[in-house]
Structure 1
Amino acid sequence: MTAASIDLLIGDPYWLPHPVQLMGKFITILQRKVENIAGKNKFALRVGGGIIAIAVVLASGASGWLIERLIMQKTTLISFYGYLFLLLGLASSLATRSLRDSVVNVLNPLSKLSSTCPESLEIAREKLSFIVGRDVSQLSEDEILRATAETASENSVDGIYAPLFWMFFGSFLWELSNQLPGPLALAWAFKASSTLDSMLGYRVGKLKWLGTFGARLDDVLTWIPCRIVVFTLPFISKPLHKIPGIINNAFIDGRKDPSPNSGLSESIFAYCCGITMGGLNVYQGKEKLKPKIASHEPKPSIRSIEKLLNLILNLELFWLATILIIKYLTYLL
């Protein structure tokens, strides 16, 4: 079975209306209302941003919890639809397929780049602009590949491993009481937090104050899953005797980044793939120098990014297998 076919089984289905789109629309509506009321008042924008974050996260978690309630119904038909909606909702929370496809869409034109097909570089820039926040109009092939590797590493934590962690935590809460929020409620609550950060978490204009609460909430909810990734990824990619050194180096380089999670996410994938990340980026015309990660390694290539995508999928399967084993052992006890 190929990686693409596995994505069909565990990735987010394209034909299903994505909950993140609804979350995004809800955030946009609330953002406009808060900005109209708060104006340029920094304190009011911070308070309004907190209200937006709490409202969106609670509404998303409550929506998942209501679907979970359907399973508990005694009516067979309602319970059946509850399980169906639950499975579809959980699948929609894992960005396995969309992440892979987005990265492949950047790599495909680069693989055709030649003197006879120079427009491939512009196509790659356009595809990259859909998945990164930096300016891409002047990026060279090497810089496009670096940006692709960095965003794939960071988004795998936000889009796959953190939701998986909160699904598992929700299933643990169900062991205590099936009235508590379960895997879908917590997964959708996390996705809401992540969507808030991606939409409002920019330190420009009013968003500098409006998005503060949502960005900090996302940092907190991603903190544990990110570090689990750091400790587990080397086990499926490197010899045992190299694992302690790789983890140590990943923490050393990752901590140079001001973000508590994105630097670590990039760092562990850089060391496990054998590529360097970091350097000068441009955001809305302003230059920002990111710390170099695994500076002794070569620049990312198409082949190394394909390896990175396979590592992302293999680690997801490893986590799923581990979760199933833990659940089975818990059941036996």
Structure 2
Amino acid sequence: MSRPLGLALGWALDRAIGDPRRWHPVAGFGSVAATVEERTYAARRAHGVAHVALLVGATAGLGVVAERATRRHRVAHMLVTAAATWTVLGGHSLSREASTIDGQLRRGDLDAARTQVRNLVGRETSGLDADEIARACIESLAENTSDAVVAPLLWGGLLGVPGLLGYRAVNTLDAMVGHRSDRYLEFGWAAARLDDVANWGPARVAAALAAASSGSRTGVAHAWSAIRRDAPAHPSPNGGVVEAAFAGVLGVRLGGSNTYEGRSEDRGTLGTGPAATTHDIAPAARLAHQVSVGSLGVAVLVAGGGALRGRGRPRRRR
């Protein structure tokens, strides 16, 4: 049972202390990926496939080595799993950013909030008003709770350390090269598609957990209605599902038009309530935390089930 315990300990570490301020392993991976890109880049999908395969394969391979090296030592395996879990989770940082933005908006410091929200979103923020900043923050809380908490926990529960590290490599590469700029339209195709595949299941688990966290039949009904009706119009096959669920549970309207590098993009309308305002950030942060707790429970059950199946296998006679 060292994997479930390691996942729980790593989650607790993330909630308690968050990411290290310096020498973060994910930042180190990003630096390595940027260096590798200098050699692998070409405006072709085949080069992007090779880039992703090399980096994700190497990172997951490190996880395999760590698993094998500690498999027979329960305490060591638990600690390695905990360290990997803490490294790849981003729940604490997400909550901290949302709390900071909430405080800035309540004080009326729009300039600070416009700058702060850039840590969460890629859209242009210089012209956003208070409610638009709040909407951006809530949408990021929803999508990143799925990407930075639910998904790594579920992959960790299913595959252990290789799943944790491999998923974080996929998600980081998508953030680096998976967008539709002129440079990365072809090269980043593989990273974007692999991230979509890796997050398909976790996004729907996150949406289900959000609906369940509403605590009422009405909240559940609104969440599922928003998912069925509104999520298909969202450009992300996964982000739209989670954002729609949050919109339904919170009783607000998310989505709309965003500007990216001077280009306007309609991301659909999610939910039928009033437009989100600054007062909705705190409830959204609480909902994100509830989803985080629920996803830990699911991951522990998945990991524990795998451990029990492993124990049930007949041993070979020697």
> Shorter-normalised TM-score: what interval?
0.7 to 0.9
Aligned to 1:174: none
CA contact (8 A) 1:69 1:82 kept: no
Q: How many residues align?
A: 299
Code of the aligned partner of 1:108: G
**Cα contact 1:145–1:301 (8 A) shared by 2:** yes
Structure 1: distance between partners of 2:142 and 2:302 = 26
Confirm or deny: 8 A CA contact 1:201 1:214 kept in the other structure. yes
Distance in 2, Cα, partners of 1:145 & 1:241: 24
Question: Is structure 2 residue 91 aligned with structure 1 residue 96?
Answer: yes
Q: What does residue 71 of structure 2 align with?
A: 72
1:34 to 40, 44, 52: 40
Question: How far off its partner does 1:64 sit?
Answer: 1.7
TM-score by length of 2: 0.86
Q: Which residue of 2 aligns with 1:53?
A: 52
Q: What is the CA–CA distance in structure 1 between the aligned matches of 2:200 and 2:129, rounded to whole Å?
A: 33
Which residue in 2 is equivalent to 1:179?
A: none
SS in 1 for 2:48: helix
Q: Secondary structure of 2:276's partner?
A: coil
Residue 149 (structure 1) aligned with residue 126 (structure 2): no
Residue range with higher mean Cα deviation, 144-153 or 239-248: 239-248
Q: Paired residue for 2:79?
A: 84
Gaps of 5+ in 1: 114-119, 171-182
Q: Which amino acid aligns with 2:153?
A: L
The answer (yes or no) to whether the contact 1:57–1:193 under 8 Å persists in 2 is yes
Alpha-carbon shift at residue 13 of structure 1 (Å): 3.7
Residue 10 of structure 1: CA displacement? 6.2
Q: Which runs of 5+ in 2 are unaligned?
A: 1-10, 313-318
State the AA in 2 paired with 1:94.
Answer: L
For each residue in 1:143-199, what CA deviation from the matched residue of structure 2 results, as whole angstroms up to 9, or x when unmatched? 1111111111111111011111101111xxxxxxxxxxxx11111111111111111
SS at match of 1:134: coil
Partner residue of 2:28 out of 12, 17, 22: 22
Which string of whole-angstrom CA distances, capped at 9 and with x for unpartnered residues, describes residues 248-277 of structure 1? 331220111122111112111111111111
Specify the SS of the correspondent of 2:259.
strand
The residue number in structure 2 matching 1:173 is none
Counterpart code for 1:122? D
Secondary structure in 1 matching 2:233: coil
Partner Cα separation in structure 1 for residue 166 and residue 261 of structure 2: 30
Counterpart for residue 299 of structure 1: 275
- TM-score normalised per structure 1: 0.82
**1:96, 1:160 within 8 Å by CA — same for their partners in 2?**
yes
* Contact 2:154-2:298 at 8 Å conserved across structures: no
TM-aligned CA deviation for residue 80 of structure 1: 5.2
SS in 1 for 2:256: strand
Deviations 1:197-240 (A, max 9, x none): 11111111121111000000000010011112222321121413
1: CA distance between counterparts of 2:17 and 2:217? Answer: 30
Task: Name the structure 2 match of 1:175.
Answer: none
Compute the displacement of 1:11 (Å).
6.4
For the pair 1:312 / 2:288, whether they are aligned, the reply is yes
Question: Relative contact order, CA 8 A, sep 6+: which one is greater?
Answer: 2
Distance 1:329 1:189 in 2: 21
Query: CA 1:309–1:245 in 2, change beyond 3 Å: closer, same or farther?
Result: closer
Higher deviation after alignment, 126-135 or 12-21: 12-21
Alpha-carbon deviation of 1:8? 5.3
Deviation, 1:325, is 4.8
Secondary structure of residue in 2 paired with 1:279: strand
Identity %: 25
2:153–2:299 Cα contact (<8 Å) kept = no
Q: Distance in 2 between matches of 1:297 and 1:326?
A: 35
CA shift, 1:322, in A, is 3.9
Output the amino acid matched with 2:144: N
Give the SS at the match of 1:164.
helix
Contact (CA 8 Å) 1:278, 1:292: kept in 2 or not? yes
Equivalent residues of 1:70, 1:81 under 8 A apart: no
Partner of 1:132 in structure 2? 121
Q: Deviations over 1:278-313 (max 9, x none)?
A: 11211111111221111x312223332111111111
- Are the equivalent residues in 2 in contact too, given 1:93–1:188 (CA < 8 A)? yes
Taking only aligned residues, the RMSD between alpha carbons, in angstroms, comes to 2.4
Is the 8 Å Cα contact of residues 206 and 295 (structure 2) preserved in structure 1?
no
The CA distance in 1 between the partners of 2:107 and 2:12, in whole Å, is: 26
Please state whether the residue corresponding to 1:255 is helix, strand or coil.
helix
Say which of 71, 83, 107 aligns to 1:112: 107
Partner of 2:228: 251
Flag the 1:61–1:16 CA change in 2: closer, same or farther, 3 A: farther
